Structure 1
Amino acid sequence: MARMMMKALCIMVAFMVVVAPYAEALSCSDVVSKLSPCINYLQNGGSVPTACCNGVKGLNAAAKSTADKKTACGCMKNAYHSMSGIKADIALGLPKKCGVNIPYKISMSTNCNNIK
């Protein structure tokens, strides 16, 4: 269950990270670590936990380079495919609920290779 939660979180965070201007080497474990407090919210909705928004903001700040953004995007997509129960509409609205502005649509159809 925890593994599935981490994967789902990874997916959502990866898309959010794409917006950050520059970063150091980011890994899937970094993405999962920052987003793990969001898993229950992504599956069930309700109130966004403070720890989730802190993770979303932290990931956004950490993903600074194009490579980091692409890595986060790929991690998120892989997690989404391996975890069930993540609601796309909830993930789509999470950045705004956490006060993070992302200039692209959070979607599984996003081409990670086109991220700059």
Structure 2
Amino acid sequence: MAGTLAKLACMLFLCMVVAKAAMTCPQIRGGMVPCINYLSKGGSPSAACCTNLKNMVNSATTTIDRQDACKCLKEAAGALQGINPTNAARLPSNCKVNIPYKISMSTNCASVK
């Protein structure tokens, strides 16, 4: 458990450091760790969650970057149990972040521009 938390903390740190370059899927997943409580229980997303979401959006500067981020978010959401789809869809607006696609398992990432 401690090893897993250390790995997640390292991934979160990498997400903050690499904010200007396109993020890899492991970096995106790590950056979403602070969002898990919100995604499952609702309420308000943490500041760390919103910061990491903003970093992801800012790093995705091309269509391919945005499509890859979309695919990664869908894969991560599918792998986690207990995620409330409504909370996931509301995450961008609750973080005041504009994402050019809906965070949903039904989003067609190939259509993201």
43, 46, 54: which one pairs with 2:51?
54
Distance in 2, Cα, partners of 1:80 & 1:26 = 17
Q: Percent identity?
A: 45
Output the amino acid matched with 1:105.
K
1:107 aligns with: 104
**Would you say the 8 A contact 1:24–1:65 is kept in 2?**
no
**Would you say the 8 A contact 2:44–2:94 is kept in 1?**
no
**Would you say the 8 A contact 1:34–1:55 is kept in 2?**
yes
Larger radius of gyration: 2
Output the amino acid matched with 2:95.
C
71, 74, 80: which one pairs with 2:71?
74
The answer to which structure, 1 or 2, has the higher relative contact order (CA under 8 A, 6+ apart) is 1
Distance in 1, Cα, partners of 2:64 & 2:35 = 24
Output the amino acid matched with 1:94.
L
- Find out whether 1:83 has 2:80 as its counterpart: yes
Distance in 2, Cα, partners of 1:24 & 1:70 = 15
Q: Tell me how large the CA RMSD over aligned residues is.
A: 2.2
Deviation at 1:25, TM superposition (A): 3.7
Q: What are the ranges of 5 or more consecutive residues in structure 1 without an aligned counterpart?
A: 7-22
92, 96, 100: which one pairs with 1:95?
92
Q: What is the number of residues matched between the two proteins?
A: 98
TM-score by structure 1 length? 0.72
Distance in 1, Cα, partners of 2:83 & 2:74 = 12
